[in-house]
Structure 1
Amino acid sequence: MTNRAAETIFRTLLDRIVAGRMVPGEPLVEQALAEQFGVSRTPVREALHRLAQADLAERGARRAFVVRKMAPEDLSELFEASGEVESALAALAAHRMSEIERRQLQSILAEGHACDDPDAYGAINARFHDAIKTGARNAILAATLDEMSLRTLAWRAANFHSDAGRLATSRAEHRAITEAILAQDAEATRRLMRSHVASSYLVLADVLSRRQATDAPASGVASRRSTEGGAPLPW
């Protein structure tokens, strides 16, 4: 029961951070959250530790957790590492995916090309990457990517809201990756996947470089910006 409650709290807080309803520097008070979710402090504490492992929370004053602000250099290193691992998996998938898995990948690609909703496309994008990870058949690399994916989840979720053209470029990149996998060209697949992850980072880095430091709690209500015109980024 405790594990299930911790998972629910973690996912709820994660969604709030991604949506911008919780901003960097905002306190994550154990007792207040326990009362809000109607649980003891134990699952709340576990959920907060998971957020910290995902680099979405950190210890603030008096060792209490607060929503973390990601520095540009941290984000760069995180996406670089993720790109290297995912490109290795993609290269393996080019040789190891079964015919059924290749057809499923093509089906997911078609769904993505027919989708213009950023949230729905985000889910399709996750399925596309999961299909390649599964097709690589390397449990250790897959587990490493899963750990990194937890840390990049919030940033990737915001990716398709941040740039009006990102859906189109992502579709094109997915098509190129799929074609390389179908051709069983491991090196081309590796290169294209690495470039694909880098493109996601560059979109976020561009927005981050233009974002004013208005997310601290001291900024008041203005920090809880509206999602009108696109979902805000979690920083």
Structure 2
Amino acid sequence: MAIRAADSIFETLIDEIMAGQMVPGEPLVEQTLAEQFGVSRTPVREALHRLEQACLAERGARRAFVVRRMAPEDLAELFEATGEIESTLAALAAKRMSEIERRKLETVLDEGDACDDPAAYSEINSRFHEIIKSGARNSILASTLDELNLRTLAWRAANFREDSRRLASSRVEHRGITQAILSQDADTTRRQMCSHVASSYIVLSDILARRSPDRSGPQF
């Protein structure tokens, strides 16, 4: 029960941070959150530790958690690293995926084309990338990507919720990646995936810049 409560609190806090409802530097007080969610402090503490692992929270004064301030250049480096690792996995998948996995990828692609709901598309998007990661047959690179995804997936999901154009552009990019994989063209697959992750970062930068009160730059 505590684990399920921690999951719910974690997901709710992510949604609020991504939507800009909780600003960088805002305190994340265990007792206050426990009262808000109607739970003990144990699942709250677990959720806050997971937020810290996802680089969405950090320790502030007196070691208390606050919503993390992330410099624009840090976020850019994070997405660059993700793009490099994921594009390498995609290139390997183009050569190593089984025929069954290729068909599954096409099926998920079609699901995405038919989906206009941001939350549902975010889940489809995760499955699309998971199939490619699995098809690469490289556990070391896959585990590295898992660590990076823990820190980027919440940001990437915010794209679909806050920019209606992102669903359409993501579908086009997914189709290009799929076509390159089906053609077993590793070089094109690598370029397509790297561009896909870069596009996510650019959309996110625009979203965060619009939240900036003085328009001087993104506020993370």
Q: Aligned residue for 1:117?
A: 117
Aligned to 1:197: 197
Cα separation, partners in 2 of 1:234 and 1:15, compared to 1, 3 Å: farther
Number of aligned residue pairs: 217
- State the SS of the aligned residue for 2:66: strand
Contact kept? 2:208, 2:219, Cα under 8 Å: no
SS in 2 for 1:23: coil
Measure the CA separation in 2 of the matches of 1:210 and 1:22. 16
Q: Percent identity of the aligned residues?
A: 73
The secondary structure found in structure 2 opposite 1:166 is: helix
CA contact (8 A) 1:23 1:234 kept: no
Contact 1:112 1:124 in 2 (8 A): yes
Residues 1:11 and 1:178: Cα distance change in structure 2 (over 3 Å):
same
Structure 2 spans left out of the alignment, 5+ residues: none
Q: Equivalences for 1:9-158 in 2 at 5 Å?
A: 9-158=9-158
- What are the Cα deviations for residues 64-106 of structure 1, in whole angstroms up to 9, with x where unaligned? 1111232211110010000011011101111111111101100
TM-score by length of 1: 0.83
Closer, same or farther: CA 35–85 of 1 in aligned 2, 3 Å = same
Bigger Cα displacement from structure 2, 108-117 vs 195-204? 108-117
1:221 is aligned to: none
Deviation at residue 43 of structure 1 after TM alignment: 3.4
Aligned partners of 1:144, 1:11: CA distance in 2, in Å?
22
Which position in structure 2 is the counterpart of 1:223? none
Assess, with a 3 A threshold, how the Cα gap between structure 1 residues 9 and 161 changes in structure 2: closer, same or farther: closer
Provide the residue aligned with 2:159 in structure 1.
Answer: 159
1:181 aligned onto 2:181: yes
**What is the TM-score with the length of structure 2 in the denominator?**
0.88
Q: Contact 1:72/1:208 (CA < 8 Å) preserved in 2?
A: no
Larger mean CA deviation between 118-127 and 161-170 belongs to: 161-170
The one-letter code of the counterpart of 2:189 is T
- What are structure 1's unaligned runs of at least 5 residues? 215-232
Question: Once the 2 structures are TM-superposed, how far is the Cα of residue 16 of structure 1 from its aligned partner?
Answer: 2.9
Q: Secondary structure at the match of 1:189?
A: helix
Counterpart-to-counterpart distance in 2, 1:34 and 1:166:
35
Structure 1 CA distance for aligned equivalents of residues 97 and 45 of structure 2? 40
Deviation at 1:11, TM superposition (A): 2.8
- Tell me, yes or no, if the aligned pair for 1:58 and 1:68 is still in contact at 8 Å: yes
CA deviation vs aligned residue, 1:146-165 (integer Å, no higher than 9, x gap): 11111112210111233332
- 1:3-22 Cα distance to aligned partner (Å, 9 max, x none): 45433432332233234443
Q: Letter of the aligned partner of 1:89 in structure 2?
A: L
